Structure 1
Amino acid sequence: MELIVVCFIIAIASVMGWKAKSITKDGAIAAFIVGLLIYLGFSYQGLFLLGCFFCSSSFFSKYQNKRKRIAADILEKGEQRDIIQVFANGGVPAFLGFIYSFGFISQQTALVCFCISLAAANADTWASEIGTMSKKEPRLLLTMKKVPRGTSGAVSILGTTAAIGGALFIAFISYLLFSLSLVWVVYIALFGFLGNLLDTIIGQTVQVKYKCTYCGKITEKQNHCNFKGVKISEYSFLNNDAVNFLSIILATGLGFLFS
């Protein structure tokens, strides 16, 4: 009976996210699956932590949209998260909930890795959404070259501060929900921020980008100005969703190894 009630609550939350245009219809289905698997492993506390990530990221996605128009022209996808984006950010936490529910991993390890995965996702989301509002142009992390706001692999003081805040936010909520020690809170925040750093490095090096053959702008969109863009690097092969997923896996995996 309890599971039925929980499924109903998750379904309502997913539909509300779709109605609020924070996620697409297929994204709502993915959110339901992610929420259910997290509940199976980490109960209501896990669901609440997921909700903190989703609500905060949705808020900053919609906050001051007018100031983000330049970045939106570069980015492949908009503020509505589709099924791929939901699984890219929530797939690792959901997998951890699934394997912990079957006893394949110890409670402490599963919990810490779960919190790290959400901290990494939140750090990256806050950095992306808040960083694009920076008044100064960001710089590519590895070359320090100035680039337009929204460029993958670029950093700014505002965006980096937001990433730290996003990781700390999840770490602090984890502390309240799971009665973790302050040492684990710092640990979760550090590896959460590391996830954002890895996302930035991977985004600059191997994320696929295209040059518009009409206006010459470098974007994540293969089609821009109704023209097909030219891939600017033969070694790039990952889109933004794959970069997000990989950075969360790496941050969580490193957190597991050093825990």
Structure 2
Amino acid sequence: MTALLENEILLLIGIAALVFGGYKLKALAASGAVGTLLVGILIALGFKGYGLLLIGLFFVTSSYWSKYNRKQKESITDMHEKGSQRDIMQVFANGGVPALLGVLAYLFPADYWIYGFVAAIAVANSDTWASEIGSLSKKRPFSIIQMKTVDPGTSGAISLLGTLASVAGSALISVVSYFFWSEINLTITLLLTAMGVMGCFIDTFLGATVQSAYRCKVCGKLVEKTEHCLQPTQLVKGNSWVNNDVVNISSILIASVITILILM
């Protein structure tokens, strides 16, 4: 058995372990497990084992924070379209851009694909940490559009705790990537951290402006669901086709493209 074949087998085992673990821990729905398998293969194609370790780090830490203090987050979860188990669309929303960059890195090898890949993971981790940790803040978040405090979990709102979590989440991915790839130096690490946070704020801006929001006709709550209290909800903001998944993939793509253009 050649060393190349052995490496490919190890990568497949790593992907399978990530998918199986995520499904058994109920972090992935069945469709999410299929999506994760595909995303993992495409990432491994271009970025090998380090790429898988980086996306795995995002998956493990974000899943932990999603489940951390879940009881306190129940009212916020009720507002969101989907729960803590990622389906295939949520997987593609966070992993679609990294997977695409994996294919491009395989077909057209260049250092800048690495930078775009790390930035994409940094944005996803930054946004997830900001949402999950920020929702635990004792102070109400502040809407960047309405310029007033709003209910926790409202799209387009920020808090001090969430902002600090955003920086920490992005920094974790960027610093780890520094030890993975010799192409990444300290200056680039700082830039990647900044791009991850910028992507998170792009996500917040899109969430505040174009993401759909609905009003429950029964309880009057502002939610992301088309149905609440067993009744259809009314669209009161944004576009109906722009849900959280669309906002996530858009912010990740924008930040990754900007990073690649800067470092090409």
TM-score of the aligned structures, taking structure 2 as reference length? 0.94
* Alignment equivalent of 2:218, drawn from 214, 232, 236: 214
- The answer to whether the Cα contact below 8 Å between 1:24 and 1:80 also exists between their aligned partners in 2 is yes
User: 1:203 and 2:207 equivalent?
Assistant: yes
Q: Which amino acid in the other structure matches residue 13 of structure 1?
A: L
Question: What CA deviation, in whole Å up to 9, does each residue of 1:49-88 have, x standing for no partner?
Answer: 1111110000000100011112111111111100000010
Contact 2:210/2:238 (CA < 8 Å) preserved in 1? no
Percent of aligned positions that are identical: 43
- 1:116 maps onto 2:119 in alignment: yes
Mean Cα displacement is larger for which, 9-18 or 222-231?
Answer: 9-18
Give me the whole-angstrom Cα distance separating, in 1, the residues matched to 2:188 and 2:164. Answer: 21
**Structure 2 residue corresponding to 1:255, chosen from 244, 248, 259:** 259
* Residues 12-161 of structure 1 aligned to structure 2 (within 5 Å): 12-103=17-108, 105-106=109-110, 108-161=111-164
Tell me which residue corresponds to 2:174: 171
Following superposition, the deviation at residue 156 of structure 1 comes to 0.3
User: Structure 2: which amino acid aligns with 1:184?
Assistant: I
Corresponding residue of 1:238: 242
Residue 81 of structure 1 aligns to a residue in which SS? Answer: coil
Shift of 1:7: 1.7
1:192 maps to 2:162 = no
Cα distance, 1:235 vs structure 2:
4.8
Q: Number of residues paired by the alignment?
A: 257
Unaligned runs of 5+ in 1: none
Deviation track 1:2-31 (CA, whole Å, cap 9, x = no partner) reads 323422331122011101000111101111
- Measured on the aligned residues, the alpha-carbon RMSD in Å equals 1.2
Q: TM-score, normalised by structure 1?
A: 0.96
> Secondary structure of 1:232's match?
strand
Letter of the 1:152 counterpart: S
- Separation in 2, partners of 1:28, 1:246: 22
Report runs of 4+ in structure 1 exceeding 3 Å deviation.
Answer: 234-237
In the TM superposition, residue 99 of structure 1 has moved relative to its aligned partner by 1.0
